[in-house]
Amino acid sequence: MENFNKQKFLYLCKARFIGKKLICFKTVNSTNDYASRLEDKALKLNKPGDFFEKFNGTVIISETQSGGHGRNYKKWYSPSGGLWFTLILLSKIKAADVEKVNLIMAVSIYEAIKFEFAINTRIKWPNDIYYKDRKICGILSQLNTHYGASFLNIGVGLNVNLSFKEISSEDTQVISNASSIKEITKKDADREKLLAGILENFEVNYEKYLETQDMGNIFSKIGNSISI
């Protein structure tokens, strides 16, 4: 399994600012946790404004996570071959609207998968993406505000080139209802191209939402492919 190619991704990604800064790791505990620590360090420097100007739109990605998790710190299986990343955004949204941005990311992933693989997935409001009855993606958004500086970390765990047929017994319960793009399509996917598509979609969808404050355009893109 080849590691994620940063230079290839930067060449492919046509987004204006989302993903233009990419921090890559071979392994971390959690990309969301790393983003929070990075932000805490910036706040200690008493320069949160400088931090956001520099890091707004930054993506933190890791080949593996030792402590990947979803809501309520439920374990997320994160071996090599997936897309485990966190997007950092300068955000003025209210806590009550975080689920909307979470859904915008879900729709952006839904669009990218449909475009790249002609696969129709289903969004389970507001955090998960399924193919039939199997979960292939989880999203965890966390809004943090300190001293007037607000940042939104959007963590994504997307099962791409993974096989769940041979797993250790200790992980069986964790991924009992999981699948991956590879298991669905029967071939490896181009992770760099897929991530570029996701982030390009997100930038368009997110900026449209900020402009209109209307989720109608987002819901129109997925039709009946959403459930509670």
Q: What's the pLDDT tens digit per position in 34-59?
A: 998 888 777 676 665 666 667 889 99
User: Tell me, what's the pLDDT at 2?
Assistant: 78
Backbone angles phi, psi at 110, to 5 degrees: -55, -45
Q: Residue ranges of the chain with pLDDT lower than 50?
A: 168-170
In angstroms, rounded to a whole number, what is the distance separating the alpha carbons of residues 77 and 57? 25
| CATH class of segment(s) 12-223 | alpha beta
| 75 contacts: CB under 8 Å, gap ≥ 6 | 68, 69, 174
Residue 60, strand partner residues: 23, 86
What residue has token string 């819901």? 219
Mutual orientation of helices 191-212 and 98-117 as an angle, nearest 10°?
140
| Residue 168: per-residue pLDDT | 47
pLDDT at 34: 93
- Other beta carbons less than 10 A from residue 188's beta carbon: 13
Task: List the one residue out of 65, 70, 103, 62 whose CA is nearest residue 178.
Answer: 70
